[in-house]
Structure 1
């Protein structure tokens, strides 16, 4: 069977975008849709050799796009994190990098008509209900196919996309802080004591712990965190129950909550060996993506870091050298393995985050008819 798809790079991810009508030709139920994506990506194989997946968490992503010309947004999209080595597809989260790609796709495919100067694409994420806006320059209604914008974690240039997350909190659990606390103690034993953690729902459900409490030194981000990975997976499993993302006894999810190690700003070695000076960023963060360290930082994770930075007493806020100022836009510079990622954080007079903005880049890689081979037991 052939499935038509559009392959895009958005930020530091690659994402296959599928029109909902094309998917409906081959899948009449959600279960069939999940199986279709797993088969198209070759998810059962860790190398994804017989499919279009890239074998990593940042290249095993898909989104199903539906134009909604009469709705409150221009389009809806369902994000899918496809399994690697397991024939599963998780729908529990959102992906900002894929949303960046979707914004460019919407303009290039004519879902949204190009404006005289710039085009705003309003998108609703069906996984969480989040609303995002991607803004793309379209001078004289010219639709861009290439650009010179770059983002940390990718040396290749792309079309500039300004991505905004609107009111990016409570979309999975109903509240910014699911437990009502800035810091909780997770029942993950470290040297006989529980672990301090900030759990919040912003951009995506996330849990942040001090890197030092797990014996992780973020002065270098070149290692694979093999020694800390089992404990980080314990953190995810425990936080998932506390945040109400899964019932006790149910298998832990691999995609959510996002897990982050946090440390104050300091000179560090990036994954490519570059020395990143202390004065270039406000704090250091390493995220877990699925079952491995993220090579940079996912955009929903960057939103979660930005929101946590505005919560007094949180693990993130206490790592910052400066306090946030309510009622204005401010920049947060996040030191990641790929370099420094900057977010613009807008808060109201009470200090609540009402918008997070990032400058990203996207590029179309291909349009293809994927030959999907059904899984053979």
Structure 2
């Protein structure tokens, strides 16, 4: 069998997008289809369209939304690599950037001048996002010169805003607290904003927050233990139960320091406010997921959080995050009681291909 799909780059991720009318509505059948299409039982995803990294093994199913005030709904899928499974519990802001451009390019949302607004609902989490797609001259462009940290390639500019991302940002009621991880006390902020995230005070754990990807790789087992300890406190797992790989997300935060990005660019300590190093699906993220960036920015508004501890107190409006790929600026606006109504990041997207993916029979349920 074969299925139509569009490959997009959204920010620093690549994502195959499927029209909801072209794929099964049943979640189990859809998961079998994606596992087969991506070759997701193989750790290198050689016999499929998966990219064999957490940032390139993603999918979304997109369709017109039945909800008033929302243009499109999208179901996000983080396709496992070598696991033969799909995580359905999270959202991806980078893929949402691609969804916004796709919605305009495919006529799901009409062009409205030099900029076109697309309101999207992530059906995994219920989050509502707004993409402002650059459409200069009332035209949908396939190429652009807007860049983002992590790639020198340009794309079509998309301003991505998360609406009301943090109605209750502190799932435990504490801006920061200590977790007992083995024999070690680890100071963390557990924040639900954009996504459920565990932010570790790097300095208090003998780290800097500016670790290399190689060092982060060595810390994966320790960071996984931190997130497993935090998950029940955040209501994401039962005590003793291991959470899924997607949420809560986990990472280190620390003070600014000069460093060299993964593209070899020098960044001075004065160019950003807080160092951030995150995991994605148990691997070091080469930049930062946008849902994680939202969580860090919201934590920066909360007095006593590990982020506010780095910045010297709550920071409103802009917070500049030093990531392995470079500096990502996040803006919180309409802040009420320490909680923003909107969190915005400037991104870029590009449609890469329209294709027919040939899916082997293993994508269908096997006879008993």
Please tell me the TM-score bracket, short chain as reference: over 0.9
1:66 and 2:57 are equivalent in the alignment: no
- Alignment of 1:158 onto 2:155: yes
Is 1:143 matched up with 2:140?
Answer: yes
Q: How many residue pairs are counted as aligned between the two chains?
A: 364
The partner residue of 1:348 within 328, 331, 335 is: 335
Question: Is structure 2 residue 115 aligned with structure 1 residue 118?
Answer: yes
8 Å CA contact retained: 2:208, 2:253? no
Equivalent residue for 1:127? 124
Task: Kindly indicate whether residue 14 of structure 2 is the aligned counterpart of residue 14 of structure 1.
Answer: yes
Which stretch shows the higher mean deviation, 215-224 or 232-241? 215-224
Question: 1:198 and 1:296 mapped to 2: Cα distance?
Answer: 20
**Does residue 178 of the first structure (1) align with residue 164 of the second (2)?**
no
CA distance in 2, matches of 1:292, 1:338: 15
Quote the residue 1:90 is aligned against.
87
Which residue of structure 1 lines up, in the alignment, with residue 239 of structure 2?
248
Are residues 285 and 39 of structure 1, via their aligned partners in 2, closer, same or farther at CA, if it must alter by over 3 Å?
same
- On the 8 A contact 1:83/1:90 being kept in 2, the answer is yes
- Give the whole-Å Cα distance in 1 for the aligned partners of 2:113 and 2:209: 46
Contact 1:216–1:228, Cα closer than 8 Å, also in 2: no
> What is the match of residue 197 of structure 1?
188
2:356 is equivalent to residue 369 of structure 1: yes
Q: Secondary structure at the match of 1:238?
A: helix
Q: In 2, distance between residues paired with 1:219 and 1:134?
A: 30
* Greater mean alpha carbon deviation, residues 266-275 or residues 284-293: 266-275
Aligned to 1:56: 53
2:228 paired with 1:237 = yes
The counterpart of 1:334, out of the listed 315, 321, 334, is 321
**How many Å separate the matches in 1 of 2:359 and 2:332?**
42
Contact 1:78 1:126 in 2 (8 A): yes
Work out the CA distance in 1 between the residues paired with 2:155 and 2:136: 17
Query: TM-score normalised to the size of structure 1?
Result: 0.92
CA-CA distance at 1:266 after TM superposition: 1.7
Shift of 1:259: 0.5
Which residues of structure 1 form unaligned runs of 5+? Answer: none
For residue 271 of structure 1, give the secondary structure of its aligned residue in structure 2: coil
| Larger mean Cα displacement after TM superposition, 253-262 or 215-224 | 215-224
Give, in whole Å, the separation in 1 of the partners of 2:322 and 2:230: 24
> How far apart in 1 are the matches of 2:195 and 2:307?
16
The answer to whether the aligner puts 1:4 opposite 2:4 as a matched pair is yes
Kindly indicate whether the alpha-carbon contact (under 8 Å) linking 1:107 and 1:113 is maintained by their aligned counterparts in 2.
yes
Question: 1:106 is matched with which residue?
Answer: 103
Q: Which runs of 5+ in 2 are unaligned?
A: none
- Deviation at 1:274? 3.0
Q: Per-residue deviation at 1:88?
A: 0.7
- Name the residue aligned to 2:301: 310
How far apart are residue 184 of structure 1 and its match?
2.1
Asked if the contact 1:220/1:270 (under 8 Å) is kept, the reply is no
Aligned equivalents of 1:134 and 1:161: distance in 2? 6
For residues 246 and 291 of structure 1, the distance between their equivalents in structure 2, rounded to whole angstroms, comes to 17
In structure 2, distance between residues paired with 1:140 and 1:227 = 49
Deviation at 1:35, TM superposition (A): 1.3
Question: In 1, Cα distance between the equivalents of 2:266 and 2:315?
Answer: 27
Report Cα offsets for 1:3-39 as digits up to 9, x if no partner: 1111000000000000011003xxx521111111111
SS at match of 1:272: coil
- RMSD between superposed Cα atoms in Å: 1.7
Aligned-residue offset at 1:222 = 4.8
- 1:324 paired residue number: 315
